[in-house]
C-alpha cells in the first residue's frame, strides 16, 4: 500500500478549471498584444511600405510565422503557469479561433463590443476551450 492519496473529483475539477482559465488568459493576452501592436501602427508601417507582391508574401509567409511566434510565446508561458501538457492547447487554440472566424462568429458578436474586444474575447474562449478539450485525464476516461 502506498501513502499517496488518490485524486478526488473536486481536486480534478479545480485542476481542469485552472487549466481552462490559464489557457483562456494566455490566449486573450496574446491577441491583446497583437492588437496593441496593430493599434500602435507597428504593423501598418510594414504593410504600407510594401508592394502588392510583397503584401501577398507577407500574408502567405508572415501570417504563418506570426502563428508560430504566438505558439512559441504561449507555450512557455502556459508551461510556467503549470499547464501540462502545453502543446495540445498551443495547437488547438488557434484552430478553434480560425473556426470561429470561418463561421462568422466575430460578426455575430458585434453587440458585445468593438471589433478588437470581440476578437480578444474569442481568442480567450478558443484557448480556454482548447484547454478543456485537451485535458489528458478526460481523454483517457472517455476511451
Closest to 58 measured CA to CA, from 41, 45, 40: 45
Asked if residues 104 and 98 have their Cβ atoms less than 8 Å apart, the reply is: no
Domain assignments of the chain as residue spans, ordered by start: 29-134
Question: What's the pLDDT at 17?
Answer: 95
**Cis peptide before 85, with omega less than 30 degrees from 0?**
yes
- Between the two ends of the chain, the Cα-to-Cα distance in Å is 28
- State the sign of the Cα–Cα–Cα–Cα dihedral 125, 128, 132, 136: positive
For the chain, give the percent of residues with pLDDT over 90.
50
Question: What's the pLDDT at 110?
Answer: 86
Alpha-carbon distance of 12 to 9, in angstroms, equals: 5
Q: How far is CA 48 from CA 41, 66, 67, 83, 142, in A?
A: 10, 18, 21, 39, 50
List the Cα angle 109/115/118 in 5-degree steps: 50
Question: What's the pLDDT at 5?
Answer: 61
User: Residue 136: pLDDT band by 50, 70, 90 thresholds?
Assistant: confident
Question: What's the pLDDT at 64?
Answer: 76
**pLDDT (tens digit per residue) in 6-64:** 667 778 889 999 999 999 999 999 999 988 887 887 666 666 776 777 667 666 777 67
Whether pTM > 0.75 for this model: the answer is yes
Alpha-carbon distance of 85 to 94, in angstroms, equals: 16
> Is the predicted pLDDT of residue 1 greater than 60, yes or no?
no
Amino acid at each position: 500500500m502506498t501513502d499517496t492519496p488518490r485524486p478526488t473529483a473536486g481536486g480534478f475539477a479545480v485542476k481542469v478549471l485552472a487549466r481552462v482559465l490559464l489557457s483562456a488568459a494566455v490566449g486573450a493576452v496574446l491577441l491583446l498584444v497583437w492588437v496593441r501592436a496593430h493599434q500602435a501602427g507597428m504593423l501598418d508601417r510594414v504593410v504600407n511600405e510594401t508592394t502588392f507582391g510583397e503584401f501577398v508574401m507577407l500574408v502567405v509567409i508572415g501570417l504563418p510565422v506570426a502563428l508560430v511566434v504566438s505558439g512559441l510565446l504561449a507555450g512557455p508561458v502556459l508551461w510556467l503557469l503549470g499547464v501540462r501538457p502545453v502543446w495540445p492547447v498551443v495547437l488547438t487554440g488557434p484552430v478553434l479561433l480560425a473556426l470561429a472566424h470561418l463561421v462568422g462568429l466575430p460578426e455575430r458578436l458585434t453587440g458585445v463590443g468593438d471589433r478588437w474586444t470581440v476578437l480578444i474575447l474569442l481568442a480567450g474562449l478558443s484557448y480556454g476551450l482548447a484547454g478543456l478539450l485537451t485535458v489528458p485525464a478526460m481523454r483517457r476516461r472517455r476511451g
